[in-house]
Structures are given as C-alpha cells and as structure tokens.
C-alpha cells in the first residue's frame, strides 16, 4: 500500500502555553474544532471519582450569555454538532460546523468552557441523570464487566476508577467541588490544546483562538499522576445471568513505547478482527461464544492488552483453555508471514479509513500533541507498521504474556471453585 501525503498541519503556541493545531482539508466544507484538556478521571482523588465526567455535563447547562436550551438552538441553527466526552487522561469539548460558522462555533465553545454557571438547580437534575447512566451500565453486563475488570487490573490506582464515578461519590459532589476541580485541573494553559481540521486557514484560526485563550491565566496546582505497577489478580462477581462475561488482561504499552506497533499487530492476529485466531477458533470453529475479541489501550506511561468473551457456563473452561493456548502459541512461535502481512494491511487500512472525516483528523491532531508533543505524520505511522517483523511481534508477546501479571474478571453464574487454577495459567 503506497500512499503520498502532503503535510497541511500547523502549530502555534500562544504566549501563555495554550497550543493551537490545525490541519487544512480543502476538499470539505466543514470544520471540526475541539478544546482538549490533559485532564480526566485519572486526575481525580478517590473521594471525588466521577467529578470530571460530572463537570463535562455541567458545562453545557447554561452560561451568563446562554441558557442550556439556547446553546442547543444556536448550534442547531447552523446545522452544527456540539458535544463532549471524558476519558482517563483527557477531556474534549468539540463542535463541527460549516467553515463560515467557525467564529460563532468558537465563541460558543469558549463561552461554555469559561463562563458556565454550574447552577445548583441544574446540578441536582444532572446528578440524577448521571446516576441513571451508572445504573444503566450495571444493567449491561458486557459493559459492566469492563468496569469491574479495570477496578481489579488497576487496583488502588486512579486508572481503575470508573469514569462515571459510583453512586456514593456522585451523590456527594457539590458545586464548590466542581468549581475547585475545574480551576485545579482545567484552567492550566499548558494543558490546553485547541485542535481544528477541515476547510480552515491556520493564521486566521489562531487569531480567533487568541481572542479567547490568549489572556488566560491558570494555576499550576494540578494533580501529579501516580505510577501504575501491574500485578496478577483474579476476581469473581456472581450474578444470575445467562452467560459468564470474562475479561482477561495483561500489561500493554504506553503511547510512546517503540513496541506499540508490534503490539497492534499482535492484537490484530490474536483477536482484533473476524479473521483473528481467537474469533476463528472460539466462535467459528467451535461455536463456543457469540462475542470474543481482544483490544489494546494505551496511556501516557502504561497500557493494557485485553480480551473479552461472553460464554455459557458449560463451555467456559473449554473456551478458557483455547484462549490460554493461543496466547502461549503466540508467545512461543513467530506469526506466519501471511498473517503478518494480513495484519499490517488491516492496520493500515483501518487507519486510512478512520481519517475520512474532519472529526478524526481533529482528534488525531490533539492526541499527537497530548502524547508526543508534536504531530506524527500518517506516512510515518504507515512506515512504522510496515517495518514490524515477526520477531518483534513474538518479543512483545513474550514480554506481556506472563502469569505474574495476568488479571481475570468473571461476571455471571460462576464461582472460584468452578474453575481449576491451572486453567488460568500459561504453562
């Protein structure tokens, strides 16, 4: 797959440290804009778990200039999209509009970010909404098992916190808590990245952003991130369900680890697609599970390689033996050349297809800044994927598939005594 990319990315750092990054995509009519803050649930203390997500909701509930309904009407009146999301290590407030409405969109985003009222009345209504959101996840076992798994895998560490929080912490968050958290974690200029992609001129956009963010002053009292140290764990949560929902995890790599592309290929081969070994062996060849897949998650200093499966209790042990056997096979033998080529083409195709929208370009610009402090060209990523060898894939498999760091979480009609300990070992 040969591709030629003309770089149209530009970056300006305002005098206070706020970064403005853009990518011009002349062939589209739209512009996607995001205010990204390097703060998320990982910055929370245990007693305030869920406050970042709560704050994200509250910033849309009215400012000195706009009510919540007016915010919706303003963006709807120009056919735009306005939303936000909270992650472990960052929060994003974004908008997508036609190019001629960029000034309006930035004005609205900045108003939401800097001037939200955080009213007590709206706070109580939104608290109830978030509590319903937490309960909804608990009613969805394939989602809930992921939360339980994260709590076990990242035991005692903020990366294990549920982004939504829990019922106790969310019930106790006050307006002053939200305001203090925002000042502590968000009003830090060097943590802010304003990213835009689409039919846009960089210098014009920088001038617009400078009017809102250029004079921003902030504190430097934000939370230091603790280091995570992985260790083995096995956790059972008995519940009367039709299936047993299983998560298996082991340390992955950080966003900056040079082995990340080898891990991406290992994931593609093991369980990252319908043609992967786990999907073919567990579902297609034996019919043991409807859903089985692997995935990778990376953070600034650590990562996770995970496997999810939903299976009936009667075939749970057989499915576990197949999974453990496949992991050992990947650890002990290099992948075949045909598999390696197939995985590389899959990764490259997924990357290029993901960049079909201005939203994706905008997000990629920001994440490059968050984790690399510079833009990483798509062409460079494609070259790094192509350069991975079968030996490097086996090296990362040997590195992560170790019994002393494997974590298992089971949710459903199963107890510890139902699974022989040797089933959960890489022999």
Residues 359 and 259 placed together within one structural domain of the fold: yes
Question: At which of 179, 213, 247 does a domain end?
Answer: 213
d(CA 23, CA 73): 28
Residues 32 and 174 placed together within one structural domain of the fold: yes
From the number of C-beta atoms within 10 Å of its C-beta (0-12, 13-18, 19+), residue 224 rates as exposed
Residues 243 and 208 placed together within one structural domain of the fold: no
Residues 204 and 238 placed together within one structural domain of the fold: no
**Checking DSSP bridges between strand 233-238 and strand 407-412, what pairing results, if any?**
parallel
Q: Which two tokens stand for residue 390?
A: 């079968």
Nearest to 224 by CA among 39, 36, 18: 39
Q: Is residue 226 part of a domain?
A: no
Q: Is residue 205 part of a domain?
A: yes
User: Is 60 exceeded by the pLDDT of residue 3?
Assistant: no
Question: At which of 213, 248, 269 does a domain end?
Answer: 213
Residues 255 and 377 placed together within one structural domain of the fold: yes
Residues 59 and 206 placed together within one structural domain of the fold: yes
290-317 average pLDDT score = 96
Show Cβ contacts of residue 88 under 8 Å, excluding neighbours closer than 6 positions. 40, 41, 42, 159, 163, 299
CA angle 164, 230, 318 (to 5 degrees): 85
193-204 average pLDDT score = 97
Q: Is residue 218 part of a domain?
A: no
Q: What are the catalytic residues?
A: 56
Q: For the whole prediction, is pTM greater than 0.85?
A: yes
Q: What confidence category does residue 6 fall into, taking pLDDT thresholds of 50, 70 and 90?
A: low
3-class DSSP state for residue 200?
Answer: coil
Q: How many domains does the chain have?
A: 2
Q: Is residue 228 part of a domain?
A: no
Per-residue confidence (pLDDT) for residue 72, from 0 to 100: 97
Residues 195 and 267 placed together within one structural domain of the fold: no
Q: Is residue 219 part of a domain?
A: no
Residue corresponding to tokens 């992991």: 327
Residues 168 and 238 placed together within one structural domain of the fold: no
Q: Is residue 84 part of a domain?
A: yes
Q: What confidence category does residue 182 fall into, taking pLDDT thresholds of 50, 70 and 90?
A: very high
Q: What confidence category does residue 222 fall into, taking pLDDT thresholds of 50, 70 and 90?
A: low
Residues 57 and 182 placed together within one structural domain of the fold: yes
Residue-wise pLDDT tens digits, 41-59: 999 999 999 999 999 999 9
**Checking DSSP bridges between strand 289-298 and strand 303-311, what pairing results, if any?**
antiparallel
**Secondary structure (DSSP) of 104-133:** HHHHHHHHHHHHB---HHHHHHHHHHHHHH
Residues 50 and 159 placed together within one structural domain of the fold: yes
Residues 199 and 247 placed together within one structural domain of the fold: no
Residues β-bridged to residue 98: 30
Considering the chain, what percentage of its residues have pLDDT values greater than 90? 94
Q: Is residue 370 part of a domain?
A: yes
- The CATH number of the domain where 112 resides is what? 3.30.830.10
Q: What confidence category does residue 4 fall into, taking pLDDT thresholds of 50, 70 and 90?
A: very low
User: Is 50 exceeded by the pLDDT of residue 389?
Assistant: yes
**Secondary structure (DSSP) of 340-393:** HHHHHHHHHHHHHHHTTSHHHHHHHHHHHHHHHSS---HHHHHHHHHH--HHHH
19-31 average pLDDT score = 96
Q: Is residue 374 part of a domain?
A: yes
User: Is 80 exceeded by the pLDDT of residue 224?
Assistant: no
Which range of residues forms the domain containing residue 405?
233-424
Per-residue confidence (pLDDT) for residue 427, from 0 to 100: 78
CB-side neighbour CA atoms (13 Å) of 349: 8
Residues 108 and 18 placed together within one structural domain of the fold: yes
Residue-wise pLDDT tens digits, 322-365: 999 999 999 999 999 999 999 999 999 999 999 999 999 999 99
**Secondary structure (DSSP) of 158-182:** GGGS-TT--HHHHHH--HHHHHHHI
């Amino acid at each position: 797959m040969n591709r030629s990319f003309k770089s149209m990315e530009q970056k300006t750092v305002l005098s206070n440290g706020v970064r403005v990054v853009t990518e011009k995509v002349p062939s589209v009519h739209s512009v996607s804009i995001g205010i990204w803050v390097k703060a998320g649930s990982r910055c929370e203390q245990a007693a305030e778990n869920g406050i970042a997500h709560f704050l994200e909701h509250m910033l849309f509930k009215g400012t000195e200039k706009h009510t919540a309904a007016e915010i919706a009407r303003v963006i709807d009146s120009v056919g735009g999209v306005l939303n936000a999301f909270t992650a472990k290590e960052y929060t994003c407030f974004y908008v997508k509009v036609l190019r001629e409405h960029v000034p309006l969109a930035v004005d609205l985003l900045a108003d939401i970010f800097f001037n939200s009222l955080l009213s007590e009345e709206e706070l109580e209504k939104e608290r109830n909404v978030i509590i319903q959101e937490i309960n909804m996840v608990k009613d969805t076992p394939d989602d809930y098992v992921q939360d339980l798994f994260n709590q076990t895998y990242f035991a005692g560490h903020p990366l294990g916190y549920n982004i939504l929080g829990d019922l106790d912490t969310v019930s106790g968050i006050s307006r002053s808590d939200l305001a203090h958290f925002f000042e502590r974690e968000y009003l830090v200029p060097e943590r802010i990245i304003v990213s835009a992609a689409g039919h846009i001129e960089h210098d014009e956009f920088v001038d617009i952003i400078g009017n809102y963010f250029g004079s921003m002053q902030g504190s430097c009292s934000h939370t230091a991130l603790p280091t995570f140290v992985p260790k083995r764990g096995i956790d059972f949560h008995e519940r009367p369900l039709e299936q047993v929902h299983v998560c298996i995890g082991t340390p992955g790599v950080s966003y900056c680890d040079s082995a990340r592309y080898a891990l991406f290929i290992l994931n593609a081969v093991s369980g990252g697609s319908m043609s992967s070994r786990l999907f073919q062996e567990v579902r297609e060849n034996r019919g043991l599970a409807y859903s089985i897949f692997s995935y990778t998650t990376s953070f600034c200093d650590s990562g996770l390689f995970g496997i999810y499966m939903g299976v009936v209790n009667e075939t749970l042990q057989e499915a576990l033996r197949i999974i453990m056997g496949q992991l050992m096979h990947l650890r002990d033998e290099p992948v075949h050349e045909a598999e390696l080529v197939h995985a590389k083409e899959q990764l490259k195709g997924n990357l290029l297809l993901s960049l079909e929208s201005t939203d994706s370009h905008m997000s990629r610009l920001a994440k490059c800044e968050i984790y690399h402090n510079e833009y990483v060209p798509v062409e460079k990523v494609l070259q790094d994927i192509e350069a991975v060898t079968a030996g490097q894939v086996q090296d990362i498999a040997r590195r992560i598939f170790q019994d002393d760091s494997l974590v298992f979480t089971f949710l459903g009609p199963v107890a510890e005594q139902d699974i022989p300990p040797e089933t959960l070992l890489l022999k």
